[in-house]
Chain A
Amino acid sequence: MIERETVQKIARLARLELTAEEIEEMQGQLGRILSYVEMIQAVDTEGVEPTAHVLDVTMTLRPDVPADSGAPPSAYLKAAPDSGYGFFKVPRIVEGGEHGSV
């Protein structure tokens, strides 16, 4: 079981709105999972490098030049919930300003 406030705090960090019932359920479930993973604290990892890549290879870089993405920007805008004038549209961000969302 973890604290209700802890669940609320990480939900806020993750931008995840939870109902009161969900918070209660997560308290128990996350608590049980965290007590299970606690077993790794017993492993002696003194001087062990953390894994950064599973294989001993260097990742391939490609030239930093513009290339065809395979679809025009309009195709990505069409897949969004709201768009216009070549942009994604969102609700008003600045409270009380003269210029809200278009």
Chain B
Amino acid sequence: MDPCSLTAVQIARAVKARELTAVAVWEAFEARIRRFNPTLNAFLHVNPQAAAEAAAIDARVAAGEDPGPLAGVPVAVKDNIVTCGMPTTCASRILEGWVSPYDATVVKNLRAAGAVIAGKTNLDEFAMGGSNENSAFGPVRNPWDPRAVPGGSSGGSAAAVAARLVPLALGSDTGGSVRQPASFCHLHGLKPTYGRVSRHGLVAFASSLDQIGPLTRTADDAALLHGVLAGHDPHDATSLRPDQLPSPPAPDGPLRVGVVREFLAEGLDPGVREVVEAALAKWKAAGATLVDVSLPSAGFGIAIYYLLATSEASSNLSRYDGVRYAFRAADARNLEDLYSRTRGQGFGAEVKRRILLGTYALSAGWYDAYYRKAQQVRTLIRREVAAAFETCDVLAGPTVPTPPFALGALIDDPLSMYLSDMYAVVANLAGVPALSVPAGFTRAEGMTADGVGAIPTLPVGLQVMARPGHEETLFAFARGQEALAPELGGRVAPDPEEVSR
């Protein structure tokens, strides 16, 4: 059997049953990485120790041990999550050549579960972007159509899983960075409850919003990987203790699906609307109760997100000063010069834009009008989300207002790029878990920027949010969605064209 066509659940089972060796699994995926990564640019670094790690798993199986729930499963790690023995660049020149002295908690969890770390994946620099075009190491291509972006910022992780270069990958989601690429690449992508997964070793972007989540091809794989990642970690002060988690809901009666009115309003691509409404109609036909709900302040989501996330980023990114990390500008005359030249030369345009915006929002005279006001509107959104969950089990809508757009189409228009996350940011602002599940495909008319031409069939995701701590409800929904649309599970991205480099 070809390991690359298997799910993570199937691979771990086969490795433990000695039907497959972890080494054979890794060799099969590594061969695909070597063949297709030059086209996709999904991986920035392939783990040179992966074969040895796989051999160690096989030795444990041979000795009668259970290596764990991810026995022999290759997992790709977004390159803003630190790893020993491999570079962590955040797709930025300012960290080029830097190697972390320690593993992130999630990476430790992966190793303890028997996973093989496949390597580090491309992203928008410091996870800032929605297309993966803001990488200092070049854009990533969407396996479903190489003219389209894979989404971002976890674009490399999404492309790697969609193209079957790995069965599983980690992303990080500050304002849609796991779910938007999941939607663009026909994957499951989870943003867990704030505090559910440790951020120790996740390079900080916006600390009141960041969470690490899985990108997978099936619902069961998403649940499996999330189970390995989640848990309390004393190294992260925002990490939730077991006693702080609400008890899982007792299933009673038909699922109540809240359809968020504002997510189906103006600004939604007609093709995406069609796919999402058809998916919801199937749920209704299957016995779910559809409830019309309103989040009146959701329309302010992007505005407050770009004030809060940039404010937090301007603080978090002050550590890149040319003293402690890899890159230092060569020609500094004094210490202040060293800071500003290192940062001026090391950061890309989007990172600079966000640092400036955040510095402005926090600066004297503007704090009340921007930062404080945004945190007040955030309170209103949190209240509206909590009220909606009084009548619903999940809140549903499209993940992204458009299908994947063409490479280059929005690169000179930051504000339009930001609006790609208009539905996704609500979950980060409210701290609730949210999952994007594959919902179908659309033919995107009008996405013809720069003479690229009409892009044919492109993935569309459906986003579901649940109450804090209710990730299981989301996985149950995802399994239900797979059962309602079995034809979607069988669809895999075509092998990319090979290029020689």
Residues of A within 8 A of B (CB): 6-7, 10-19, 22, 25-26, 29-30, 32-34, 36-37, 39-41, 43, 45, 48-55, 57, 59-62, 69-72, 75-76, 78-82, 88, 90-93, 95
**Contact among A14, A17, A29, A54 with B355 in the assembled complex (CB-CB below 8 Å):** A14
Nearest opposing residue in chain A for B108, CB measure: A70
B82 CB to closest chain A CB (Å) equals 11
The reply to whether the CB of B54 lies closer than 8 angstroms to some CB of chain A is: no
Answer whether A90 and B238 are a contact pair too, CB < 8 Å, given A7-B356, A39-B300, A41-B373: no
Known: A40-B374, A54-B382, A55-B240. 7 other contacts (CB 8 A): A29-B414, A33-B415, A34-B360, A71-B101, A81-B322, A82-B328, A95-B334
Contact of B328 among A34, A45, A62, A81 (CB under 8 A): A81
What chain B residues lie within 8 Å of A15 (beta carbons)? 318, 321, 336, 339-340, 343
Complex Cα–Cα for A29 and B418 (A): 13
Given A16-B344, A36-B303, A54-B431: A88 in contact with B238 (beta carbons within 8 A): no
Asked whether B279 is an interface residue with its Cβ less than 8 Å from the other chain, the reply is no
Query: Across the interface, which residues of A come within 8 angstroms of B102, CB to CB?
Result: 69-71
> Contact partner of A51 among B303, B332, B369, B379, CB < 8 A?
B379
B95 vs chain A, min Cβ distance (A): 10
CB neighbours of B304 from chain A (8 A): 37, 40
CA distance A39 to B305 in the complex (A): 13
Number of A-B contacts (CB under 8 A): 178
Which residues from A are CB-within-8-Å of B344? 16-19
Chain A residue, CB-CB nearest to B412: A29
Give the complex CA separation of A60 and B266 in angstroms. 42
Residue of A nearest to B354 (CB): A33
Residues of A within 8 A of B99 (CB): 79
**CB neighbors of A among B322-345 (8 A):** 322-328, 332-341, 343-345
Partner of A40, one of B98, B303, B339, B343: B303
Residues of A within 8 A of B98 (CB): 79
Q: Within the complex, what minimum Cβ distance (angstroms) separates B94 from chain A?
A: 11
State the CA gap A72–B102 with chains docked (Å). 10
Q: Which B residues between 198 and 240 are near A, CB-CB below 8 angstroms?
A: 208, 232, 234, 237-240
| Closest Cβ–Cβ distance, residue A93 to chain B (whole Å) | 5
**Is there a chain A Cβ closer than 8 Å to B429's Cβ?**
yes
Chain B, Cβ-Cβ closest to A61 = B237
B375 touches A50 (CB 8 A): yes
Q: B359–A37 contact, CB under 8 A?
A: no
How many angstroms from the CA of A10 to the CA of B195 in the assembled complex? 32
Minimum Cβ distance to chain A for residue B176 (Å)? 16
Contact B373 A45 (CB under 8 A): yes
Q: Which residue of B lies closest to A49 (CB)?
A: B379
In angstroms, Cα B227 to Cα A48, docked, is 36
In angstroms, Cα B232 to Cα A59, docked, is 12
Q: How far is the CA of A39 from the CA of B323 in the complex (A)?
A: 40
Interface size range of chain B in the complex: 35 or more
Q: How far is the CA of A40 from the CA of B340 in the complex (A)?
A: 32
* B154 on interface, CB distance cutoff 8 Å: no
A90–B338 CB distance below 8 A: yes
Residue B194 is within 8 A (CB to CB) of chain A in the complex? yes
Whether B394 is near chain A, meaning CB under 8 Å from some CB there, is no
Which residue in B232, B323, B356, B380 is a CB contact (below 8 Å) of A81? B323
A59 to chain B, nearest CB (A): 5
Q: Smallest CB–CB gap between A53 and chain B, Å? A: 8
Are B359 and A10 neighbours in the complex by a CB distance under 8 Å? Answer: yes
B376 at the interface (CB under 8 A from A): yes
Q: B101 touching A75 by the CB < 8 A rule?
A: yes
Whole-angstrom distance from the CB of A79 to the nearest CB of chain B? 6
In the bound assembly, the distance between CA atoms of A7 and B345 in angstroms comes to: 17
Task: Give the contacting residue for A79; candidates B103, B238, B307, B325; CB below 8 A.
Answer: B325
Taking a contact as CB atoms under 8 Å apart, the answer to whether B237 and A59 are in contact is yes
A100 vs chain B, min Cβ distance (A): 11
Task: Check B297 against A43 for contact (C-beta < 8 Å).
Answer: yes
In-complex Cβ contact of A54 among B336, B338, B430 (8 A): B430
Q: Is the CB of B355 within 8 A of A16?
A: yes
Q: Are A45 and B357 in contact (CB under 8 A)?
A: no
Q: Are A10 and B360 in contact (CB under 8 A)?
A: yes
Q: A10-B356, A81-B328, A90-B323 are in contact. Are A37 and B370 (CB under 8 A)?
A: yes
Establish whether residues A16 and B376, one from each chain, have CB atoms under 8 Å apart when the complex forms.
no
* Chain A nearest CB, measured from B453 CB (Å): 28
A sample of 28 inter-chain contacts (CB < 8 A) reads A6-B360, A15-B321, A16-B343, A18-B352, A19-B344, A22-B349, A22-B352, A30-B357, A33-B418, A36-B302, A37-B303, A43-B297, A43-B300, A45-B377, A45-B380, A48-B376, A49-B376, A51-B382, A54-B194, A59-B238, A60-B232, A60-B234, A60-B239, A70-B102, A79-B324, A80-B323, A90-B338, A91-B333
